[in-house]
Amino acid sequence: MKLEIFQVDAFTSEPFHGNPAAVVPLTEWLPDDVMLDIAAENNLAETAFFVKTEDGFDIKWFTPKVEINLCGHATLGSAYVLFNELGFDGDVIRFRSHKSGALGVTRDGDKFVLDFPAYPLNEMEQSDELAGALGVVPVKVWETQGNMVMLRLESETQVRELTPDINALLGIDFDEIIVTATGDTCDFASRMFAPRIGIPEDPVTGAIHCSLIPYWADELGKTEMFARQVSARGGELFCKLAGDRVKIGGNATLYLKGEIHV
């Protein structure tokens, strides 16, 4: 079987920056173990697969190890492929995930704006184990949806210079570990580590902004913000809180397209 495959750098307008996502359009679903094998072979943070439905597209995302509940950059990459490579007619694409429900992507000039759910935060006690694995004592710590933990640090510099013990993070009971602080050249900065699900560090992570946007909107007293994920590759996100939804905008650029044989 031959399948089309695209690789898109998301949340950037330049190749070799942002977060690379593989995108595989399907006419019908493959078995989950085959999609997981494809994702493992791609060896990117996420591979997205989608199938056309009557009113949009069903979508799934896989890391090299597991299927995940929600992925921003690979959804943005999928929208890029549909709009720019597959001739989608219109400005709004409706996606549906069996794990996270209704999602959307709107084309806005050269940007693509994700419509995702907003996630609440629940403050938790400081964890010596987590602080030790990260190598820093956070200002505050919260649990959030999707088995994620979010830590506020003192500065963007502290976020940028963090060098966590990835092996120690494997023993932490959270799938995704977010660190964030107010930004120097943006409203807020972040990084994300997820070695338990096969991603030592994710370069730019749309889905964590489902938690970051509501938090920083409350902290900063505004609903529209500009954010940076300050990983080595780096990425830019244009953020808005809209009630119980978040809007996450970004650019994307095509890196490769071809076919795979399975």
- Residues noted as catalytic: 46
Beta pairing, strands 46-52 & 19-26: parallel
C-alpha distances (whole Å) from 14 to each of 8, 20, 237 are: 10, 11, 14
Element (H, E) at 40: helix 32-42
C-alpha distances (whole Å) from 21 to each of 55, 162, 220 are: 24, 24, 31
Residue 182, Cα to own-chain centre: how many angstroms?
20
Residue 101, Cα to own-chain centre: how many angstroms?
16
- 222's CB contacts (< 8 A; 6+ apart) are 187
C-alpha distances (whole Å) from 215 to each of 208, 232, 249 are: 11, 24, 17
Q: What angle do CA 134, 135, 140 make, to 5 degrees?
A: 70
